[in-house]
Amino acid sequence: MLNNRNLRRSPNPHQNRMVRNLRKTVWIAFLCGMAFGVCWGKENPAAKESATGRHALNSRERRTVVAVALKSTALRRDQRDCSHLVHAVFERAGFPYAYAPSDDLYDGSIGFQRVSKPKPGDLIVWRGHVGIVIQPSEHAFFSFLRSGPAVDDYSSEYWASRGRPRFYRYLKN
């Protein structure tokens, strides 16, 4: 006679069902743990900063970057594009970094950490254009525009047509 414990329609519960449920639970816990780990690594600036020995600018230092940006109307010949202007603003504010064109900044650059929520003084970068966030609540940023250095709204139709911007925060030693 056949042992009906292994048949699916068996009225007797079998340990295989418990093992399957346990495997599902373990698998779900593993995936949740992986998701948590990925989120923690991306959203916790302290995790990256402590590993690199760098940290983000404090609010006073961010205000300094914004103030220097808003005073940057006089241009030298080498500052006639957005990436040179932004580079000059950070240097004048006392936060130098190795110059990088906007396309390189968009892909990520040493000295900056990508963030999802901008603060004043962060970079806003599209492929081919970069600026400095002035007031995130108003979507205001400073950059070299057609009319020269000016403040514009990064949520406007023109900037939205350029795609979704990325935001980067300066990290200092």
3-class SS shares of the chain: helix, strand, coil, % to 5: 45, 20, 30
Please give the pLDDT value at position 173.
80
State the DSSP code for 28. Answer: H
Q: Is the pLDDT of residue 33 over 80?
A: no
Amino acid in the structure at residue 8: R
The span from the CA of 91 to the CA of 170, in Å, is 12
pTM of the model: 0.69
146: pLDDT confidence band, cut at 50, 70 and 90?
A: confident
Q: Is the pLDDT of residue 77 over 70?
A: no
Please give the pLDDT value at position 24.
63
Chain segment 110-120, per-residue pLDDT in tens? 999 999 999 99
The span from the CA of 113 to the CA of 49, in Å, is 9
Contact (Cβ atoms closer than 8 angstroms) between residue 121 and residue 62: yes
Which residue, 140, 158, 135, is CA-closest to 150? 140
